[in-house]
Amino acid sequence: MADTLLEQTRALHEDIERTERVITKDFKRDMKLHREKLMQSHRVKRRLEGAEEAAQKLVKIYEDEDGARKEEIAALANNNNPFAAFYDRLKEIREYHRRFPNLDVTEAENDEPLLKEEPHVVFTGEEGFGRYLDLHSHYLALINAKFGKKDLEYYEYVANLPTHTNSIPCVYKAGTAYRNYLQNLLNYLADFHERTQPLYQLQKQLAKVEEETKAAFEAGTLPGWEDRGAGMQAGTAASTSNSGIDLEAFDSPDELESIGGGSLLFQEWEIVAASI
């Protein structure tokens, strides 16, 4: 039945309408448990993604770059033999139902199975199905790093997560170890956020935070970067004894050369946004 572009168009519109109906029914249900609410959010997200994919296909059909849709409509309006196209379509419909004799198009669709689906979402035991953060690996990475505090307790790390990088000297922030730590932490927080709040548009929020951070950095009002990295650059030009730079913070001369604000400070503030 979907051999023609017009039939494909009708089917795609029908799929979008059904998706809207199922989402509406799902949101009308009273979800009291944490697991139920989480599964509902993931169901809705998956249906929205399906509707978006169908809409993109419709846009492509309506744009009709190859002219196939226009030709199909012109064939239906054949003035020389107006009944030819009609009987061709009728023949297609009869052939379709001959191949699928048990298809009942008059029966209303049952949406209940769709409302009971439980998408597969993976959490660790410590995450408690999305109730808690599992930061143990990042905590261990911090206290074992040159820039970390060895006596830092796990509960202190979790409680001060949004601001814990403020106490780390800027000179360490150009090193590969710090970059890797920060990137891994940011990746985990973003992934956890998407698993626990699938309907939240995190990327838009992170983009907004990055713009605000850039503005604060340029204005010299970003905590820890009031000098816009000038102190770090000046430190490399001075002698080691006078500058106070710990050369052990760097794994190679290239890292020492690359000292500066860079994009790393934006990752720090993205962590603040993702962890609140």
How many Å apart are CA 262 and CA 178, to the nearest integer? 13
Q: What is the pLDDT of residues 21-74, one digit of tens each?
A: 999 999 999 999 999 999 999 999 999 999 999 999 999 999 999 988 888 888
Pair 106, 167 in one domain: no
> Number of structural domains, the chain?
2
Pair 158, 198 in one domain: yes
Structure confidence at residue 274 (pLDDT): 59
Please give the residue range of the domain that contains residue 168. 136-275
Is the model's pTM score more than 0.85?
no
Closest CA to 227 of 170, 172, 266, 182: 170
In a domain, 84, yes or no: yes
Q: Give yes or no for a contact between 168 and 142, defined as CB atoms under 8 angstroms apart.
A: no
